[in-house]
Amino acid sequence: MFTLLKKEISSFFSTIIGYIVIIVFLLANSLFMWIFPGEYNILESGYSTIDTLFMLAPWVFLFLVPALTMRMFSEELRTGTIETLLTRPLRDIEIILAKYFAGILLVLFSLLPTLVYYFTVVYLGNPIGNIDSGGTWGSYIGLFFLASIYVSIGIFTSSFTQNQIVAFIMAMIISFFFYIGFESISELSFWGLLGNFINNIGINVHYSSMSRGVIDLRDVIYFISVSVFFIFATRTVLQSRKW
Note whether 209 and 219 are within 8 A (CB): yes
Taking only the tens place, the pLDDT of each residue in 78-94 is 887 777 776 777 788 88
Name the strand (E) or helix (H) holding 164: helix 164-176
Residues of the chain below pLDDT 50: none
- Report the pLDDT value the prediction gives residue 10, as an integer from 0 to 100: 77
Predicted pLDDT at 132: 75
CB under 8 Å to 188, separation ≥6 — which residues?
A: 195
The whole-number pLDDT of residue 223 equals 94
* Average pLDDT, rounded, for the chain: 83
Is the distance from CB of 144 to CB of 114 less than 8 angstroms?
no
Q: What domain count does the chain have?
A: 1
* Domain range for 93: 2-240
C-alpha distances (whole Å) from 114 to each of 93, 127, 146, 180 are 32, 22, 16, 24
pLDDT value of position 158 = 92
Residue whose C-alpha is closest to residue 117's, from 28, 189, 2: 28
Buried b / exposed e across 102-120, counting CB within 10 Å, b at 16+?
bbbebbeebbeebeebbee
- C-alpha 144/C-alpha 110 separation (Å) is 11
